[in-house]
A and B are shown apart, each in its own frame.
Chain A
Amino acid sequence: MEQKKVIHLSTIKSGQKVKLAGVEAGRGLNSRLAAMGLLPNVEITVVSNGHPGPFVVSVKGSRMMLGRGMADKIFVSN
């Protein structure tokens, strides 16, 4: 089976589409993110990976801003 490469969301360039692989966070935050649509295998489009500006992603048709630390806790695969 092909092993997919899992990388930090924060390394993805603006405009790229990726799939969410997992979130490295506590249970509470995990389920909050899940409620907002950040679930495994969901398609994420990085709208803007501004260094050091806001990190904006598009998930299920809505725009979400992630704080600095957040984008490092989310793992994705392309």
Chain B
Amino acid sequence: MIGRHLVTIQSGPKGDPVETVLVEEQVPIARELFLAFAIDRSLGCETVIASASGGMEIEEIALRDPRAILREAITPASGIWPFQIRTLTAGLGLAGRTAQAYHETLRKLLTLFRELDCSLLEINPLAITKDDRVVALDAKIGLDDNADYRQRLLADTARRDITDPVEREAARIGVSYVHLDGNIGCVVNGAGLAMSTVDILAHLGGRAANFLDVGGGADSAKVAAALRLILQDPAVKTIFVNIFGGILRCDVFARGLIAGLKLAGANLPVVVRLIGTNRDEGRRVLAESGLPLIVEDDLETAALRAVSIAAGGN
């Protein structure tokens, strides 16, 4: 298997290269259950999700029989109470030694979920063996990126697993970048505005090549690195820069942009919308650069211009 490509639902049609093989003992399965831990965003707590229908996707169970999904909210400070686990084992039809084993496994998994700062821990299937043991046969673990600083080992392992070189480079330089399949490269500050920029391009008939949030402290090195990320995509026909100066002052960004464009050797048409703090100084920096930038103040006018250029117009 090693060296081959394995195609699964998660890998997509291209598949992922197999680098490691895990060999496990064969387990005599009596029943297959579903058990997961996640963050309930609405309730602001951790939640445990259990079902007697293991082996199936939880979405599928939810569609087929929502009552087959059991949930218990966990209070962050106090953790899960024994009565809550008893509710689950009763609902799953577990008793005696099996219920006891399930109880212990659930507690261990909750400890793991918390101590490793997981955003998701899904065991599917969780097997009940013929000799009444509870064994995790598979696991899907999501990690909270914000906890990377205190989960170094896991974070480094997860980062090593990023196979896309562009995503790996984005993580290294500290910008949020998501590759999309259009031809307008986007440079924006702030996640909400960056999403909205991708949206307005689509609304006006264009397609963004990427989502990119340069963040608050965008100096020339960072802007240049971000531009290089965009320029490595051969589909990109134009770059749309949409910056709302707040903490990030327009003149500071404009200097970073000019230096970045020169450093990255960009020779594509660039549409720039720069407003907010120190807009006038920012525009002067752009004008004095001598670069053939297309500068627009209005969001829609600027976006339309980028869409038109990407479509082969001007």
- Decide if A and B are genuine partners: no
**Hey, which bits of chain B sit against chain A, CB under 8 A?**
none
**Hey, which bits of chain A sit against chain B, CB under 8 A?**
none
